[in-house]
Amino acid sequence: LFLHFKRHLKVQLEIFFTSVHLKIAGCGSASYEQRELALESLVEFCREPSLMLELYENYDCDVRCTNLFETLAKFLVTRGVPPEEGQARGNFTSLHKLAFSGLMSILHSLSLRCASHKHFRRDQLETLEQGPSTPSSGETELRRKKEQKRRLTIAARTFNSEPSKSTGALQSLGLLSNPLTPESMAEFLRHTPGLDMNIVGEFLGKRHDFNGQVRKAFLDTFPFAGLGLVEALRIVLATFRLPGEAQCIDRLMESFAEAYFRSQPVADGAAAEDKPQNPLAVTRWVPRERSAEEAADRVSGQGGGPEDGAGEEPTRVPMASSDTIFILAFSIIMLNTDLHNPGVKKKMCLEDFVRNNRGIDGGKDLPQYFLGDIFEAIRDDEIRLHGASNQAGDDQVIDDFFWEGILLRSESIDAFSTTERLLSEAPPGTTERDMFQVILDCQPMPMLTLCYESIPDAAVAMQAMMGFQDLARISAYFDNSETVSGLVRTIFQYCSRAAAGGTVTVRCQIALGSSEQCVTHFAPIFREAEWRGVLEVLLQLWALDLLPPHLSEFDDFSGTDGKPLESLCNIRPLYPPPEASRTADAQSEEQRGYSAPQAPAADGDGFLESLARWFEDETKDEDEEEAESGRPQDDLLFSSAPPFPAPGDKNGVEAAAQSLPVDASDPGVIHQLVKQYVARSGFVEVLGHSGIAKLPPESLQGLAKALVQLSRPSRWFAQASSPEEQAQGSGEWHYVADPVFCLELLTNITCMPSPSTGSTSLSHIWPLVSTHFERLLQYVIAGNGVAEAQFIERLIVNTLRLCIRLIGNSELVPTLLMLTQYLSKLPGKIFSAYSERIACGILVLVQEATLPHSGLCNIFSLLHRISEFPAGVGACSAGIECLNFWLSDDQELSRLLSLQQLPELLKTLKAFAQGSSAPAALGHLSSLVPQLARGARCLAPEANLQWRSLWVPTLQALADIAKDGSQRSSAQAFVYLQRLLLECGTDLALPWEELEFDAWKECLEQVLFPLLQAPSKGGNIAEDVAALRQANAAQLVCRVLLTHMSQWLRSSPDGFPVLFLRLLHILVSEATVETSREPLVESLKNLLLVISADPAFGELSSPRGEGETLLEAAWGVVSPSLPDLRREVAVILDPSAVEPSPTEEVKIQG
């Protein structure tokens, strides 16, 4: 009926909905079966997308029609759940389910249209800045009508509340003129639907001048010409309700009489008079009460004079003035009340009515046939005063008067218009936007929330979750980002809450599937709050061990031996995955192709089939059901109803959602299937390389902000949760695991720029990331957060990962170097614990990046700190590997030399030589300068020439180790010093001929002379060890002097004597110390023996001149402190020429 005759039955179909469907479906007195049938019929209507669109266009956009679509939506929302929320689980009946399904059908049909449009095709996914297309002319006209209806509704509500104060508001709506005129107010009262007729009657009946003017203009709007008095009165009283006050009725009837009387033609005799007369006192013709056809003839002029040619009764009567109409109108109202009021027992007859109206026409009687017509018209058809009977509700009277009103309405409203668009191809426009807003205004969210949370039916829960998705899709299409954000956050919260229980329940799977759809379709419009919801879902999935390995496993460094470093951060999922039984494995193979539990279509549910299922459900024990299901304990059961219509729908949006919940009974199989689903879901895709590259800057920044907020332990900041909250359930695990996971994910995203837009994307999030890492490191440097060892480890590793991956970006280098500088400032205890990781990370950074001068300084600073912890063998080994990388590569070494970094290199080698890496460090120290001096390295010529400037610093570093290093390091340092200073013709030999005397002088003064001096008291070296090292130093110095003395004399005859005497002064001063006397005296004696036996030395002049030789000057330095040494040397040189000393004579005599 509706589909084929709707063009001709617009008003009737409106009544069909409001007074039949909705009335029966919502009537408490109707039987359950009647209500169910009515709701089923409504649901069939709701499943017709074009029908819903036509309902809105023809009724909600028509000023004189009910908001039928809005009424239907409100009805479905209110009837979709039981009235008392606390009893929803037990009272959710098939009636509620039908109403709920009807609303979901409306939403889903609109959602599918939005999803099929280009704005939501995944290959053309864009942000919502484009919005729907420009509205067509038809849509513009509909919006104009809807806006007019909205303004009239507001105006009626405003006037009904306070008529005297509504003028300003009505003028602002454009419904009253400004300045206000009686005519504009009369038009408003006459043609505005929704006005309270009681208030209209009271307003028109007031005695104020303006009200009187409005009353006169109001009644002048009626076409009274040619209408009988009863018919005219009936039309007027249908527009307002007569007030109860007699004076108000009097004023209204008086104005009615005047307007009606003026509308009638003037009698012939009165028109012939020339003098002006009062129009209300001029005799006029008043039509008799006739049928509608006769009245139409009179209007068209076919009625003649008082009598027609055949002598029949006149069709009209003359009346002298409007007073006659006034009295007769009162009499008609009294007659109507008397005849149709059940409280009046004795009814008025025609004679009584004629008698009551004698002499009312200026003292004359009206014709009896005229009064008889009036009496019969009232007797046969009551004048229904507006408001006299129920107009709506369950007690509405459906009678002939009711249907006559419908017919009258159908004549005054527009015809039913049908949509000519093919909805599957036409994109939703402004009309659909308004329809969706109507649904949102009905507040469907509480109904969806209650159905998902409280109804123990999986099909209902899936429909509710699909309803959330449909609302989000439609809101996104119409650029309602706030609604999308709220819906997406709600879905994520449901998923996180369901997964927090530790098992993969049906409700958890439903929420997970919906969450995945949200990520797939709405990620480009996500902001911080939405991304935080995504991350909370991922954290719960990690706790359930449902994430793929590349998200749940963390990158780390390997040691110098190639094996992964032992980690303190060994976080495992909170809930171990259940094991699948063998029987379940076999079943899962058979059910692998079945994605989700589906029920047969609704039209296949026959009466006998339904009855059989009902008996089966009633006789099955609850414990048996749980035992048979074998699934995780959950409050959701699968009913026979389908989760949503058209299970065979292959739409891309719908097909993905149908993969959850999985069809399996064994918890282990469920876990495996869900994990496979997650591995190929939008969660993984959006956080991958291609997914991050597709995110717009605003969304990417929101993701970074969410990760920053979640990637810091809560105890580190003021908003930390209470210890009681953290200790409950899984709170402690999440406290440790959540920051680690989010910090890892933040680092991964920062390090995966897209090839095309990577630098641009990175520039949007890098300030957030770098500032976050700086604050975390500063917090640790301040000595805080020591208890969070696992997080600190990942903080250090990810800091180095950022430096390694991003050091090639010149714009980020200053910030990255600052991060490495923060690492070097970590407290000693923390640095010692993670020194090996830092060293291995530095090694990778040095090998893969070309560092500037400041970067090398930071690296040397870190290496120097690593050397402070010699117990860390792995750390020192990695540090030496880093140094070896520079020293073994000619290009890198040249670069170090060009950047003036050799002092830092020598300083670092010296530091490492103090610990377990001494051999390698000393080897590098001793071989570097000879290689440069002999040109053994393929370096630039200017680099090879730098060996002279590097010679003394290298020797100085070795001397410091020989003097203050460990026993092993000291001994090896002395060996390397001897090779460097004494050997010739070996790999460590230097081209002595190229060294000037000044270079040797610098070597002795800065390296060898300090080496001779005893260490300060209170040091870490024992006195006997220090004395031994001093003796070795003395031997080394004397050998160097004797080896190179001839060269020094040739190159600087005047400078050598001074240097030689200074050496003697140092040896003598150190030899007088009791702890080191004998070894130093022996070295000094050997030196003096050699020079005394050399004739050339005896010819050298003393620097003091005066004819003194250098040998005499030397003995002048030695003899005062060591008086016996000269004689001992002389005895050795010539035993026979020297007499024994007094001391020796005493010994011989004894």
Over residues 894-912, the pLDDT tens digits come to 788 778 887 888 888 888 8
Question: What is the C-alpha to C-alpha distance for residues 899 and 852, in angstroms, rounded to an integer?
Answer: 8
| Closest listed residue to residue 556, CA positions, set 812, 858, 804, 866 | 804
Question: What is the C-alpha to C-alpha distance for residues 40 and 103, in angstroms, rounded to an integer?
Answer: 12
The SS3 assignment for 783 reads coil
**497-to-85, 500, 508, 736 alpha-carbon distances in Å:** 20, 5, 8, 19
The SS3 assignment for 318 reads strand
DSSP code at position 716: G
Residue 757 φ then ψ, to 5°:
-120, 20
- Residue-level pLDDT at 421: 56
The residues, any chain, with a CB within 8 Å of residue 317's CB and separated by 6 or more, are 285, 286, 288, 306, 366, 367, 370
195 strand-pairing partners: none
Angle at 1091 between CA 1011 and CA 962, to 5 degrees: 15
Residue 1034 φ then ψ, to 5°:
-65, -45
Structure tokens belonging to residue 1094: 């050399």
**249-to-104, 209, 256 alpha-carbon distances in Å:** 52, 16, 10
**686-to-551, 651, 683 alpha-carbon distances in Å:** 12, 21, 6
Residue in this structure with the two tokens 């070894």, named with its chain if needed: 1079
- Residue-level pLDDT at 425: 62
Greatest distance between any 2 Cα atoms in the chain: 198
Question: What is the C-alpha to C-alpha distance for residues 1113 and 1094, in angstroms, rounded to an integer?
Answer: 15
- Residue-level pLDDT at 466: 93
Question: What is the C-alpha to C-alpha distance for residues 517 and 682, in angstroms, rounded to an integer?
Answer: 7
- Sign for the CA dihedral angle at 710, 715, 717, 719 comes to positive
Structure tokens belonging to residue 120: 């939501």
- Residue-level pLDDT at 113: 85
**Integer distance in angstroms from the first to the last C-alpha of the chain?**
153
| Closest listed residue to residue 350, CA positions, set 325, 331, 329 | 331
Structure tokens belonging to residue 835: 């020194």
- Residue-level pLDDT at 25: 85
Question: What is the C-alpha to C-alpha distance for residues 784 and 806, in angstroms, rounded to an integer?
Answer: 28
Question: What is the C-alpha to C-alpha distance for residues 380 and 1037, in angstroms, rounded to an integer?
Answer: 145
Task: Give average pLDDT by consecutive 10-residue segment, the chain, 1150 residues.
Answer: 68 79 82 90 87 84 84 91 62 88 92 73 41 59 80 89 89 89 91 88 91 93 91 90 89 92 83 63 87 46 45 80 91 90 88 90 90 91 64 47 52 58 69 90 91 88 93 90 92 91 89 92 91 94 91 87 84 86 52 40 41 47 44 52 40 47 86 90 89 90 94 71 47 88 93 59 89 94 88 93 90 91 92 91 88 86 86 83 83 79 82 75 78 64 64 83 84 86 74 80 88 72 83 89 86 86 87 73 86 81 79 87 85 70 46
User: What burial letters (b/e) apply to 268-285, b meaning 16+ CB within 10 Å?
Assistant: eeeeeeeeeeeeeebbbb
Give the amino acid at 363: G
Give the containing element (helix H, strand E) for 1050. helix 1023-1051
- Ramachandran region, residue 1122 (left: φ > 0; alpha: ψ -120 to 50; beta: rest): beta
pTM of the model: 0.74
CB 19 within 8 Å of CB 25? no
Question: What is the C-alpha to C-alpha distance for residues 659 and 619, in angstroms, rounded to an integer?
Answer: 32
155 CA to centre of own chain: 42
